[in-house]
């Protein structure tokens, strides 16, 4: 895949350009969408619900998690359709099939990156009101996100290869993602879960990533070694599994897609 | 196989490709049911395998231009996709030496929403160029495609001709050592087709290897040194292009005639039969030089028409046998009968066979129809059967008209021909 990096980058760029050129406001939306989301959170959780004391300002806590989760879920949903969408390229050119799930992940990662100024602004506002005290721990964030992207890539390989053979992968995946969303500490910190369920929560491969993300851009604390280990193991396993499944089904992809 | 002075540009050894079918599961099944069945692995096992290519072996020397011919579904496109690496062979090995570019479809990678400029980059990368190489050739690519003014407009605003020109231009400038082309010259206008052929010539002069699939047999015979003929996934001929193409053409017309013959047998009472029935034509055959019934004759070979006639046991003393050959569109080609040729009838009784031998069937290639008749001397038919048999005449070259006489050219004065001329 490394040899095809220029192609992956060009196709991901194409994906973004094509998506935004369709709309009148273009790239504006990539900033506006997360900004609106943040404003809604900030309003709702100030005026309607009162969040736990340990996750205030909750809007910031939620925004960081939802940004990262949005990246994972949309990357996987896109990869379930990528072979169908790129059928002509796959059948009529010599592009390696693994390029396409990689493009799906990279394009969604780019969306996440475009939203980072909004995250930075939110942190700035929270810091100005004294609610959080940003530190250099924030530099852990890109590392955690990079590992999360690796995990998503491994899963995208599995999802895309299976989608060639089964028509319902995307629907099934949508339901699975909704379920996983609530089983992952995106909306809540691990400490909010009942004691006896916490151990189970750590079995979720996504848990360490979201703990890491909240540590780096909400609590501004160093991520604990076992959390790093959790991320590394999840990424390695996901890439290994993804590679193995994809390799097993590789021959059928250009034939069936 | 052509001996290769250097390492072969393309080497295929015993290549077999099975297409596996997941048909049942794809249309009905789902991942959910596969999981619920408790055996998700089984759902990924193919239902059946369909052979697309079987034990195909050939080599192409560097600098050769090779055509691939065969009917639809004979495995031509599969072969190209295997050589291009889009598909992998089920068995056997394929080796391609040098940079390869495959034109399986012009502009296959174009995205309508983005500009021609961006599409050139992506298409170039797909063809194996680096970003730098694309940047260096960009101007030339755009110039050849004649799209200087439109290159920054989205491709969806292009006409199909413009998109095809751009696709071809990128491929032509990707400077491959081996170029695989699948029927792409069928698209585009006349001028563009001409320019792309010119580009191919340039390519040949540069000593590059070219392999192309085409239904345009004239083009293959004309442009290729060698041709490969695939039939139902098997390589049936590999040799000089003109020879392979001629053999392929022959087989096509043979099959066509067979098909027609079958149709005929299944439909015994054809219209166009008149007569009193005093004598009837019970059968009509075309026989080749060895006396075997055939539906196809090579132009210039001997042939015999034979009709079986049954008359009442009480003898007739007024009878004429006749044959007529016409084109399928109805133009008369030949007609004669025993009266014209000087036979005076004496007696016809019971079963007889009447044969007309033609020492050299000098007809142009095509399909012909035969009428057979037995009638009275004044023309009153006993049994006149129109279009009772059709046959095919095959030849290496097309001929204008219906006559393909044995002939020879001669020249005097200041006429000179190149060495490969038939003089």
- Residue A147, class by beta-carbon neighbours within 10 Å (0-12 exposed, 13-18 middle, 19+ buried)? buried
Nearest-10 crossing angle of helices B160-172, B190-205 = 0
B9 pLDDT above the threshold of 80: yes
Q: What tens digit of pLDDT does each residue of B178-237 get?
A: 988 887 655 556 777 777 778 888 888 888 899 988 888 878 888 888 999 999 899 999
B269 pLDDT above the threshold of 50: no
Task: Indicate the DSSP class of residue B177.
Answer: S
A49 pLDDT above the threshold of 60: yes
Q: What is the pLDDT of residue B374?
A: 92
The rounded radius of gyration (Å) of the Cα atoms in chain A is 19
Closest residue, chain B, to A23 (C-alpha): B113
The interface residues of chain B toward chain A in range 66-125, judged by CB-CB distance below 8 A, are 81, 84-88, 100, 102, 104-105, 108-109, 111, 113-114, 118, 121-122, 125
What does pLDDT average to over chain B? 83
**Higher-confidence residue: A3 or B169?**
B169
Name the most confidently modeled range: A198-202, A239-243, B247-251: A239-243
The CATH code of domain B59-85+97-244 reads 3.40.50.300
Q: Do A255 and B20 touch (CB under 8 A)?
A: yes
**Rounded Cα–Cα distance for residues A77 and B83 (Å):** 33
By the 8 A CB rule, do B17 and B89 touch?
yes
Ranking A240-244, B121-125, B158-162, B241-245 by mean pLDDT, the lowest is B158-162
Once rounded to an integer, what is the mean pLDDT over residues A230-250? 95
DSSP string, A150-206: HHHHHHHHHHHHHHHH-TTHHHHHHHHHHHHHHHTTTSS-GGGS-HHHHHHHTTSTT
pTM of the model: 0.67
**B6 confidence band (pLDDT: 50, 70, 90):** low
Q: For residue B21, give the 3-state DSSP assignment.
A: strand
**Rounded Cα–Cα distance for residues B90 and B296 (Å):** 39
Best residue of B114, B128, B138 to probe chain A, by most A CBs closer than 10 Å: B114
The rounded radius of gyration (Å) of the Cα atoms in chain B is 30
**Rounded Cα–Cα distance for residues B135 and B122 (Å):** 12
**A155 confidence band (pLDDT: 50, 70, 90):** very high
Distances from the Cα of B43 to the Cαs of A79, B18, B22, B40, in angstroms? Answer: 21, 18, 9, 5
B281 pLDDT above the threshold of 60: yes
Give the other-Cβ count within 10 Å of A102's Cβ: 25
Q: Hey, where are the domains in chain B?
A: 59-85+97-244, 272-394
Shortest CA gap A186–chain B (Å): 27
Q: What is the pLDDT of residue B1?
A: 46
Q: Per the structure block, which two tokens stand in for A79? A: 């990869």
**Domain B272-394 adopts which CATH fold?**
Coagulation Factor XIII; Chain A, domain 1 (2.70.50)
Once rounded to an integer, what is the mean pLDDT over residues B378-407? 85
Q: What is the pLDDT of residue B221?
A: 83
Best residue of B44, B103, B120 to probe chain A, by most A CBs closer than 10 Å: B44
- Residues of B whose CB is below 8 A from A167: 26, 30
From the list A13, A17, A256, the residue facing B22 with the nearest CB is A256
**Rounded Cα–Cα distance for residues A61 and A131 (Å):** 12
A22 pLDDT above the threshold of 70: no
Best residue of B23, B31, B52, B105 to probe chain A, by most A CBs closer than 10 Å: B31
Q: Per the structure block, which two tokens stand in for A136? A: 């250099």
**Rounded Cα–Cα distance for residues B54 and B236 (Å):** 11
B40 pLDDT above the threshold of 90: no
Q: Provide ipTM, 2 decimals.
A: 0.76
Q: What is the pLDDT of residue A257?
A: 62
A233 pLDDT above the threshold of 90: yes
If interface means Cβ-Cβ distance under 8 Å, which residues of chain A face chain B? 6-7, 10-11, 13-14, 17-18, 21-22, 88-95, 162, 165-169, 172, 249-252, 254-256
B265 pLDDT above the threshold of 50: no
DSSP string, B351-416: EEEEEEEES---BPSEEEEEEEEEE-TTS-EEEEEEEEEEEEEE-SS--SSSB---------SS--
Closest residue, chain B, to A159 (C-alpha): B31
Q: Do B111 and A18 touch (CB under 8 A)?
A: yes
Q: What is the pLDDT of residue A196?
A: 86
Q: What is the dihedral of CA B226, B229, B235, B239, to 10 degrees?
A: -30
- Residue B284, class by beta-carbon neighbours within 10 Å (0-12 exposed, 13-18 middle, 19+ buried)? middle
By the 8 A CB rule, do B128 and B173 touch?
no
A99 pLDDT above the threshold of 60: yes
β pairing state of B209-213 and B65-69: parallel
- For residue B274, how far is the Cα from the chain centroid? 39
**B319 confidence band (pLDDT: 50, 70, 90):** very high
β pairing state of B178-182 and B366-375: unpaired
Q: What is the pLDDT of residue B192?
A: 74
Q: What is the pLDDT of residue B173?
A: 87
φ/ψ of B114, rounded to 5, equals: -105, 165
- Residues of B whose CB is below 8 A from A6: 125, 130-131
**B323 confidence band (pLDDT: 50, 70, 90):** very high
B363 pLDDT above the threshold of 80: yes
Q: Residues in chain A, how many?
A: 257
B386 pLDDT above the threshold of 80: yes
DSSP string, B63-92: T-EEEEE--TTSSHHHHHHHHHTSS--SEE
């Amino acid at each position: 895949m490394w040899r095809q990096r220029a192609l992956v980058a060009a196709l991901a760029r194409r994906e973004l350009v094509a998506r935004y050129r369709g709309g009148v406001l273009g790239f504006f939306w990539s900033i506006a969408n997360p900004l609106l989301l943040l404003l809604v959170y900030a309003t709702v959780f100030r005026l309607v619900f009162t969040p736990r004391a340990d996750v205030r300002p909750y809007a910031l806590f939620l925004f960081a998690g939802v940004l990262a989760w949005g990246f994972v879920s949309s990357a996987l949903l896109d990869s379930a359709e990528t072979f169908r969408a790129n059928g002509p390229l796959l059948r009529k050119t010599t592009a390696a099939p693994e390029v396409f799930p990689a493009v799906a992940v990279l394009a969604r990662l780019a969306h996440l990156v475009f939203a980072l100024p909004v995250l930075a602004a939110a942190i700035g506002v929270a810091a100005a009101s004294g609610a959080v005290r940003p530190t250099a721990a924030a530099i852990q964030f890109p590392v955690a996100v990079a590992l999360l992207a690796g995990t998503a890539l491994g899963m995208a390989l599995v999802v895309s290869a299976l989608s060639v053979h089964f028509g319902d992968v995307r629907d099934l995946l949508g339901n699975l993602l909704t379920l996983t969303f609530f089983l992952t500490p995106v909306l809540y910190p691990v400490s909010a879960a009942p004691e006896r369920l916490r151990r189970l929560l750590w079995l979720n491969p996504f848990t360490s990533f979201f703990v890491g993300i909240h540590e780096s851009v909400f609590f501004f604390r160093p991520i604990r070694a076992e959390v790093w280990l959790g991320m590394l193991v999840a990424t390695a396993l996901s890439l290994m599994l993804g590679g193995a499944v994809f390799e097993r089904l590789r021959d059928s992809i250009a034939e069936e897609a | 196989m052509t001996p290769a002075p250097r390492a072969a540009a393309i080497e295929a050894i015993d290549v077999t490709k099975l297409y596996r079918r997941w048909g049942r599961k794809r249309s009905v099944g789902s991942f959910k049911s596969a999981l619920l069945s408790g055996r998700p692995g089984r759902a990924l096992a193919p239902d059946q395998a369909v052979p697309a290519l079987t034990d195909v072996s050939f080599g192409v020397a560097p600098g050769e231009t090779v055509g691939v011919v065969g009917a639809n579904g004979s495995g031509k496109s599969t072969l190209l996709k295997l050589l291009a690496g889009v598909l992998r062979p089920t068995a056997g090995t394929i080796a391609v030496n040098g940079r390869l570019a495959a034109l399986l479809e012009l502009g296959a990678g174009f995205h309508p929403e983005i500009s021609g400029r961006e599409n050139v980059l992506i298409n170039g990368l797909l063809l194996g160029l680096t970003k730098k190489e694309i940047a260096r050739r960009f101007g030339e690519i755009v110039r050849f495609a004649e799209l200087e003014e439109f290159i920054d407009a989205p491709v969806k605003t292009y006409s199909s001709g413009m998109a095809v020109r751009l696709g071809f231009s990128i491929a032509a400038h990707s400077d491959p050592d081996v170029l695989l082309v699948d029927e792409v010259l069928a698209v585009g206008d006349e001028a563009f087709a001409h320019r792309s052929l010119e580009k191919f010539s340039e390519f040949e002069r540069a000593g590059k290897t070219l392999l192309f699939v085409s239904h345009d047999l004239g083009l293959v015979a004309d442009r290729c040194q060698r041709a490969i003929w695939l039939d139902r996934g098997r390589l049936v001929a590999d040799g000089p292009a003109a020879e392979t193409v001629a053999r392929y053409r022959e087989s096509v017309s043979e099959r066509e005639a067979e098909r027609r013959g079958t149709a005929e047998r299944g439909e015994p009472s054809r219209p166009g039969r008149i007569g009193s029935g005093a004598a009837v034509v019970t059968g009509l055959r075309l026989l080749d030089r060895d006396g075997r019934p055939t539906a196809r004759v090579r132009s210039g070979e001997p042939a015999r028409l034979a009709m079986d006639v049954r008359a009442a046991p009480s003898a007739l003393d007024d009878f004429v046998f006749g044959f007529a050959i016409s084109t399928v569109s109805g133009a008369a080609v030949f007609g004669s009968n025993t009266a014209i040729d000087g036979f005076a009838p004496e007696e016809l009784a019971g079963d007889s066979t009447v044969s007309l031998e033609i020492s050299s069937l000098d007809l142009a290639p095509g399909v012909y129809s035969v009428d057979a008749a037995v009638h009275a001397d004044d023309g009153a038919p006993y049994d006149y059967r129109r279009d009772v048999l059709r046959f095919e005449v095959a030849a290496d070259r097309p001929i204008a008209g219906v006559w393909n006489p044995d002939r020879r050219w001669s020249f005097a004065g200041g006429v000179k021909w190149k060495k490969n001329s038939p003089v």
